[in-house]
Amino acid sequence: MSDPRPIGVFDSGVGGLTVLRELQRQLPAESTIYFADLGHFPYGPRFQGQVRQFSLRIIRFLEELDVKLVVIACNTATAAALNAARETFDIPIVGVITPGAQAAVQATRNKKIAVISTEGTKQSGEYLHAIKEANPTIGVLPLAAPGLVELVERGQAQSPEAEAALRATLAEIIEYAPDTLILGCTHYPLLRPLIQKVTEGKMTIVDSAHTTAARVARVLAANGLAAANEPARHQIYVTGSPDQFLQTAHILFENALPPIQTVSLELVEQMGSREAVG
């Protein structure tokens, strides 16, 4: 049995495209709809309640497009909204925090893991809880990395400014000497070459794109939702101006970037203001 309906994926900007790219690599038969909430970018500094509201409205929008599963491809939104979304919607919803945390627990040998993330994700404590749930004996150093998301969105992931920001952020982590570093924001994989340079390749770097895609594959298979034999179709929706988004998106997808359609925040809010969002 085949289910050709698309998988919905969303983030505040380009970061979730790292998850989308991995989904398309691991699940080439699956169609996707990606939603970038550029009109509310960035999520990291916002209050959790506000991010939760944005997320529930986006999921309702995606549900109206008949997606069969939603991936919250944003650590901040996963921390703020995953539990509420699962209580609100009947479709399967997958976040990016638990898969990344479990991969790091499996990778570490000295039982010391560091996490860099947005301030919102750090304050939520979700990575700490997920790691400790998997193995209570592992030490965790969570740090916020302000400014990195904006640099990635501006297409400056390999710039001197990005390297300077990373050196400042990673100094405390290098002193802590973990053997595993979680990139706790889906924007951060675009910084991987600089992170490897600054850490001198001494840490296993974990981002959640690979493990999240693998989790999606298992959920689809377990629930008879996988697609087969139909041609995959891909679409991107954005709120706000897509200009900067396009610059970085083309780096990730080159000529395979899906078509982009702009939608108004008013439309998303209207569709998301139904009784399920409350």
User: Quick one: pLDDT at residue 276?
Assistant: 45
100 Cβ partners below 8 Å, 6+ apart? 127, 182, 183, 184, 206, 207, 208, 211, 212
pLDDT in tens, 43-80: 988 999 999 999 999 999 999 999 999 999 999 999 99
- Compute how many other C-beta atoms are within 10 angstroms of the C-beta atom of residue 221: 10
Structure confidence at residue 275 (pLDDT): 46
In tens, the pLDDT along 123-134 reads: 999 999 999 999
Predicted confidence at residue 247, as pLDDT, reads 82
Amino acid present at 212: T
Correct CATH for 7-95+210-272 of 3.40.33.10, 3.30.420.10, 3.40.50.1860, 3.30.360.10: 3.40.50.1860
Q: Where are the domains of the chain?
A: 7-95+210-272, 97-208
7-95+210-272 and 97-208 share one CATH topology?
Answer: yes
pTM of this structure: 0.90
Strand order in the sheet with 7-11: 93-94, 69-72, 7-11, 32-37, 234-239, 260-262
What's the pLDDT tens digit per position in 255-275? 788 899 999 998 888 876 664
- pLDDT tens-digit series, residues 73-120: 999 999 999 999 999 999 999 999 999 999 999 999 999 999 999 898
Cα separation of 278 and 273, whole Å? Answer: 7
CATH number of the domain located at residue range(s) 97-208 in this protein: 3.40.50.1860
Instruction: List active site positions.
Output: 74, 185
